[in-house]
A and B are shown apart, each in its own frame.
Chain A
Amino acid sequence: MRSLLASLRRLILGETWTIPLGVGAALMLAVAIRALLPHGTWQTAGGFCLAVFVLAALAGSLRRAPRRRS
């Protein structure tokens, strides 16, 4: 039962906390910027802001990945 619950958590939130945290941070930043920018600017540029935040979340999740050593 415990392993099933652990698998369910992994399935919905993923293997690391960095992605759920990153997606949450990206959403909060997007909402904050929407409040700051003029409506028209947000309408045209907001999507690209969100895309950049999503990429930052991905980069953050990869930062702790092991690297090859030479």
Chain B
Amino acid sequence: MTFLLTMAAAATAVGIEMLEALAIVLAVGMERGFRDALAGALAAVAAVVLLCLAVGPALLGGADLDVLRVIVGSLLLLFGLEWLRKGILRMAGLRPRSSSYDEFVEERSALGAAASSGAGADWAARLVAFKGVFLEGLEVGLIVLALGGAPGHLAPALLGTAVALVVVGAIGLLLHQPLRRLPETQMKLGVGVALTAFGTFFTAEGLGVEWPLSDLALLYLAGLFAASAGLAIRLLTRPVRVAEAT
């Protein structure tokens, strides 16, 4: 059960972040050429992988098991609550809905307005692709490190990442039309619920808690956070009465 839940959470979180990175690379590629877009993106992927290999074992390797659970849980809580907060505000209509397609269009028009450096390497385009992929990739790296950092969770987290890679790669090959059809806001809210549930579960275990029903606690925690998110959306959607000025 935990294996499947970890895999699903990793696949969805990584998939969404990679979709955003893909939108930026596609925009740079279509506007300024795919050679420069891919050069920037590959440099960013290499930087993220090196950073994770350097920081990951140092961060998670030497710690005591309970301390490790608290570190991993706190990281997941930071990410999960942020995704949950944004998801609630988006669903309540208080912030624009998340859309990789819109990001793609915005990035493309911004790049189209900027002048190209002419012949040779287009460093501006490479930098835009690098920055976009590096930031999204770093978030992917941190989420996978946090989800896979708990004992026995590395395999499902990596498997979920691989699934996301294949799916987003396929979407990239089919270009941008499928981006429009994905319910990204709802998916991000779901990831927020899952990461917050995992974060609470691991942190509590690190503090010596024994959850009733063991790993199934992840399900009732996810239910609790999903219900709370639904309630928050309803409360925030309800209009506030403004006293009429006399």
Q: How large is the interface on A (under 10, 10 to 19, 20 to 34, 35 or more residues)?
A: 35 or more
Q: Which listed residue (A4, A8, A69) contacts B240, Cβ 8 A?
A: A69
Q: A19-B85, A43-B208 are in contact. Are A68 and B93 (CB under 8 A)?
A: yes
Residue B4 interfacial (CB < 8 Å): no
Which residues of chain B from 58 to 82 have a CB within 8 Å of any chain A CB? 70, 74, 77-78, 81-82
At the interface, is chain B mostly helix, strand, loop or mixed? helix
Residue B245 interfacial (CB < 8 Å): no
Q: How far is the CB of B19 from chain A (nearest CB, A)?
A: 16
Residue B113 interfacial (CB < 8 Å): no
Inter-chain contacts of A70 with B (CB < 8 A): 239-242
B200 and A67 contacting across the interface, CB-CB below 8 Å: no
Inter-chain contacts of B208 with A (CB < 8 A): 34, 39, 42-43, 46
Residue B131 interfacial (CB < 8 Å): yes
Q: How far is the CB of A40 from chain B (nearest CB, A)?
A: 10
Q: Which listed residue (A8, A12, A61, A68) contacts B239, Cβ 8 A?
A: A68
A11 and B204 contacting across the interface, CB-CB below 8 Å: no
B78 and A68 contacting across the interface, CB-CB below 8 Å: no
A8 and B135 contacting across the interface, CB-CB below 8 Å: yes
Bound-complex Cα distance A8 to B47 (A): 14
Number of A-B contacts (CB under 8 A): 116
B240 and A54 contacting across the interface, CB-CB below 8 Å: no
Q: How far is the CB of B239 from chain A (nearest CB, A)?
A: 4
B135 and A43 contacting across the interface, CB-CB below 8 Å: no
Residue B124 interfacial (CB < 8 Å): no
B85 and A50 contacting across the interface, CB-CB below 8 Å: no
Residue B228 interfacial (CB < 8 Å): yes
Inter-chain contacts of A69 with B (CB < 8 A): 239-242
Bound-complex Cα distance A30 to B224 (A): 19
Bound-complex Cα distance A50 to B240 (A): 31
Interface of B with A (CB < 8 Å)?
70, 74, 77-78, 81-82, 84-86, 88-89, 92-94, 131, 135, 138-139, 142, 196, 199-201, 203-204, 207-212, 217, 221, 224-225, 228, 232, 236-242
Interface of A with B (CB < 8 Å)?
4, 7-8, 11-16, 19-20, 22-23, 26-27, 30-31, 34, 39, 42-44, 46-47, 50-51, 54-55, 57-59, 61-62, 65-70
